[in-house]
Amino acid sequence: MFLPPPSPWPAADPLRLLFRAMAALPDSDTELLPAIEEEESSDLDQPWHVVVFNDPVNLMSYVTMVIRRIFGYSREKAEQMMLDVHQKGQCIVWTGGREPAELYVKQLQEHQLLCSMKKAG
């Protein structure tokens, strides 16, 4: 029969109770933590645009293919985005959280498309 390993702390160990009490007490450092966490969280959660820019080298058919491959869009949607890139100079191809946006930008750059992220709004 398997027995769990004994706890390093006795159930009523006074030192353990003291640590628990200290951890629950607010002090000057811990008061700052929620604000920092909130700021990081909002930066990551706020929407970012992934933008593809026109460049004179990449073939239009290739740009369409890459947009379809990375984002899974229909041919029609990808072609329209490619045309926007070509005619207007840029096109927002995706909007969402920062981390996926970074991943998409990396994938687009791996395909040598000229692209970047920018904050939405």
Partner 1 sequence: MHLQKLPDGSIRLSRLNPWDVQTFRSLPALADYTAAPEAERRLLPAPAIESDLTPEMAMDWVEYVVPELRESFAESFTTVMADLETLSLDPGPEAEDAGDGVADDAEEQGEPSPSGQKSTAKGNVSQQAVEEMQEVEEEPPMPHFVLTIPGDHAEAWFRAMNQARIVLSIRYGIDSERVPELGRLLEAGQLEYWFQYELFVSLQGWLVEAVLNPE
Binders of partner 1: how many residues, by CB under 8 A?
A: 25
Query: Which residue's CB is nearer to partner 1, number 27 or number 76?
Result: 76
CA distance from start to end of the chain: 61
User: Applying CB under 8 A, which of residues 64, 85, 91, 94 lies at the interface with partner 1?
Assistant: 64
What one-character DSSP code corresponds to residue 111? T
Tell the smallest beta-carbon distance from residue 9 to partner 1 (Å). 39
Using CA atoms, how far apart are residues 93 and 73, in angstroms rounded to an integer? 10
Q: Does 58 bind partner 1 (CB under 8 A)?
A: yes
Please list the alpha-helical segments (H only) found in 1-121.
14-24, 28-45, 60-71, 75-88, 98-110
71 binds partner 1 (CB under 8 A): no
Q: Is position 89 an interface residue for partner 1 (rule: CB under 8 A)? A: no
